[in-house]
């Protein structure tokens, strides 16, 4: 896993007017630090006495700089330090109101690329005055760069259950964004790939970060476990695109969603074929939807005699909901209804087992478990290893054998 110093520039903010712009730049460069002058800039992480001192100090530390000030200020401060043929860090001048982005120095080390990312975060096209001479640039100079944003499902765990198309997107991406656990499942990565792993639960921030990078011409992959469209990142990415007033996100980004095998499919396959007839997937998480709606839906699904796969069945923050859901299901289903439990499916500690509905307790379930509750026709029978095969026949009412007798 690599850390790209280009994407962790110091944003030099000289006064309160630039603070909002500095914060917007950070939506494209979350690893950036805001650096300010003692006095006028509240909450700046590093304080300096004068603009010139700040610029010189950062420059001497070979730190990429995004300076919210006039280009002339930068040259007055850094001019005396510039030497021909000496490598210089990327330095951009950005108007305090965010209306202009100009790469000034460090064109050999990605200044134009940084300018595109900062420009994308601010919704402006950077004033590129000299073509890229950055040897690490992804594409030839001068051409409009179309970024790529792939929202990818990893499947349930590692190895064989990931689609080749997902693997290909991971290979071609420069940036990998996602929840830490899933990013780890997606590895290993090459040294030139940049990993933005986070515990951050705010999916919309992650989605906006991904668009900002892609709109600047970068190739970005956003990873989810299972299928990205099932309680996962694809929705946040589409919502971010729909809500943001960012024409560049539509025009300059090639967006693709790559499906993955979802947890219920893996658990079902291990158990036989419990979702072989009509079924539904419900999330029991009431973080994003009210509990009464969940119960109402569950009641309708049970009354419709669907096989029901429960995702997010329980967590420390939601200890009692599963018990209430099971009480409701027991009012609709016979006590012997087969329930398939799949824990960590597709991962090294996978465990899949079957219980009767009347024997199922919340203690058997955790947040890494998917619970598949059979319909009135779901069958279970012993298998040689002591477990059970479970299936839901595709006929309804009388079987052909019964009809003939």
Q: Which is nearer to ligand SAH, 311 or 391 (CB)?
A: 311
Q: Does 152 bind ligand SAH (CB under 6 A)?
A: no
Q: Does 193 bind ligand SAH (CB under 6 A)?
A: no
CB-facing half-sphere around the CA of 34: CA atoms within 13 A: 21
How far apart are the C-alpha atoms of 14 and 31, rounded to whole Å?
20
Q: Does 354 bind ligand SAH (CB under 6 A)?
A: no
Show the tokens assigned to 66. Answer: 């995004």
Answer positive or negative: Cα dihedral of 287, 292, 293, 294: positive
Q: Does 178 bind ligand SAH (CB under 6 A)?
A: no
Taking CB under 6 A as the binding criterion, the range among 12-20, 121-129, 244-252, 363-371 that sits at the site for ligand SAH is 363-371
Q: Does 231 bind ligand SAH (CB under 6 A)?
A: yes
Q: Does 311 bind ligand SAH (CB under 6 A)?
A: yes
List the one residue from 9, 18, 36, 156 that touches ligand SAH (CB under 6 A).
156
Let me know: does 185 contact 229? Beta carbons within 8 Å.
no
Nearest to 307 by CA among 241, 255, 373, 365: 373
Contacts of 134 (CB under 8 A, 6+ apart): 107, 108, 109, 110, 111, 112, 113
Q: Does 369 bind ligand SAH (CB under 6 A)?
A: yes
CB 253, min distance to ligand SAH, A: 23
CB 298, min distance to ligand SAH, A: 15
List the one residue from 313, 339, 352, 374 that touches ligand SAH (CB under 6 A).
313
Q: Is 343 helix (H, G, I), strand (E, B) or coil?
A: strand
* DSSP per residue, 284-333: ---SSS-HHHHHHHHHHHHHTT-EEEEES--BTTB-SHHHHHHHHHHHHS
Q: Does 367 bind ligand SAH (CB under 6 A)?
A: yes
How far apart are the C-alpha atoms of 115 and 124, rounded to whole Å?
10
Q: Does 259 bind ligand SAH (CB under 6 A)?
A: no
List the one residue from 19, 35, 224, 321 that touches ligand SAH (CB under 6 A).
224
Contacts of 48 (CB under 8 A, 6+ apart): 35, 36, 37, 38, 54, 57
Q: Which is nearer to ligand SAH, 156 or 217 (CB)?
A: 156
Nearest-10 Cα torsion for 323, 327, 330, 336: 40
Contacts of 245 (CB under 8 A, 6+ apart): none
Q: Does 157 bind ligand SAH (CB under 6 A)?
A: yes
Taking CB under 6 A as the binding criterion, the range among 7-15, 165-173, 297-305, 337-345 that sits at the site for ligand SAH is 337-345
Q: Does 237 bind ligand SAH (CB under 6 A)?
A: no
List the one residue from 88, 246, 252, 344 that touches ligand SAH (CB under 6 A).
344
Taking CB under 6 A as the binding criterion, the range among 12-20, 51-59, 65-73, 227-235 that sits at the site for ligand SAH is 227-235
Q: Does 346 bind ligand SAH (CB under 6 A)?
A: yes
Query: Interface with ligand SAH by CB under 6 A: which residues?
Result: 156-157, 224-227, 230-232, 262-263, 311-313, 342-347, 367-370
């Amino acid at each position: 896993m690599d850390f790209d110093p280009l994407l962790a520039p110091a944003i030099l903010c000289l006064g309160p007017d630039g603070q909002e712009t500095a914060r917007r730049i950070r939506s494209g460069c979350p690893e950036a630090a805001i650096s300010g002058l003692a006095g006028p800039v509240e909450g700046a992480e590093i304080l300096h006495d004068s603009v010139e001192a700040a610029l010189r100090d950062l420059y001497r530390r070979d730190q990429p700089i995004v300076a919210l000030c006039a280009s002339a200020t930068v040259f007055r401060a850094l001019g005396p330090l510039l030497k021909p043929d000496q490598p210089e860090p990327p330095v951009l001048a950005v108007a305090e109101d965010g209306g202009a982005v100009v790469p000034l120095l460090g064109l050999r080390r990605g200044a134009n690329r940084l300018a595109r990312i900062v420009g994308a975060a601010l919704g402006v096209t950077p004033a590129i005055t000299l073509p890229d001479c950055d040897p690490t640039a992804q594409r030839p100079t001068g051409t409009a760069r179309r970024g790529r944003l792939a929202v990818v499902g990893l499947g349930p765990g590692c190895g064989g259950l990931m689609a080749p198309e997902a693997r290909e997107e991971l290979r071609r991406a420069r940036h990998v964004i996602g929840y830490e656990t899933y990013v780890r499942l997606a590895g290993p990565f090459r040294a030139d790939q940049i990993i933005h792993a986070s515990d951050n639960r705010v999916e919309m921030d992650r989605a906006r970060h991904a668009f900002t990078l892609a709109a600047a011409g970068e190739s970005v992959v956003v990873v989810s476990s299972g299928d990205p469209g099932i309680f996962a990142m694809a929705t946040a990415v589409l919502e971010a695109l729909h809500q943001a007033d960012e024409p560049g996100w539509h025009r300059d980004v090639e967006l693709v969603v790559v499906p993955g095998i979802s947890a219920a499919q893996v658990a079902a396959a291990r158990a036989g074929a419990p979702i072989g007839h009509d079924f539904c997937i419900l999330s029991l998480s009431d973080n994003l939807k009210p509990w009464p709606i969940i119960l109402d839906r569950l009641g309708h699904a049970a009354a419709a005699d669907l096989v029901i796969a429960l995702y997010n069945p329980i967590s420390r923050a939601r200890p009692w909901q599963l018990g209430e859901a099971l009480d409701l299901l027991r009012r609709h289903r016979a006590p012997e209804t087969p329930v398939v439990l799949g824990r960590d499916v597709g991962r090294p500690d996978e465990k899949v087992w079957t219980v009767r509905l009347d024997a199922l307790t919340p203690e058997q379930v955790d947040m890494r478990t998917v619970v598949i509750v059979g319909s009135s026709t779901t069958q279970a029978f012993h298998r040689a290893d002591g477990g059970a095969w479970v299936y839901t026949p595709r006929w309804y009412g009388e079987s052909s054998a019964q009809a003939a007798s």
